[in-house]
Amino acid sequence: MKNKISVTKANNKLNFYLLSEGKRYYLFTQTFSKGVYQFFQNGRSESELHKYKLWHKNPRLDKTIEKIPLYTRYVLKEIAA
């Protein structure tokens, strides 16, 4: 099954989650940004993030996409152990 990244909005914060094998794992929280929220609002697969082509259009979104693989690898490593 493909891994998917989803986001929830609460109290001016965005909470990022990894959806893998039918389970949801917390990744990280960051301050709300409209552009980031709109991009992840309906969830994104990891392959979509690897194919992302709009670099330098929204610096906040760029930084978020850059750190997702780090957190994803960590979570997958922890649940495998």
Q: Render pLDDT for 23-78 as a digit per residue (tens, 0 to 9).
A: 999 999 999 999 999 999 999 999 999 888 888 899 999 999 999 999 999 999 99
In this prediction, residue 38 carries a pLDDT of 96
- Torsion angle of the four alpha carbons 64, 66, 72, 73, in this order, in degrees rounded to the nearest 10: -160
- The yes-or-no verdict on residue 9 having pLDDT over 80 is yes
d(CA 81, CA 71): 16
- The yes-or-no verdict on residue 18 having pLDDT over 80 is yes
Q: What pTM was estimated for this model as a whole?
A: 0.91
d(CA 73, CA 60): 21
In this prediction, residue 61 carries a pLDDT of 95
In this prediction, residue 1 carries a pLDDT of 57
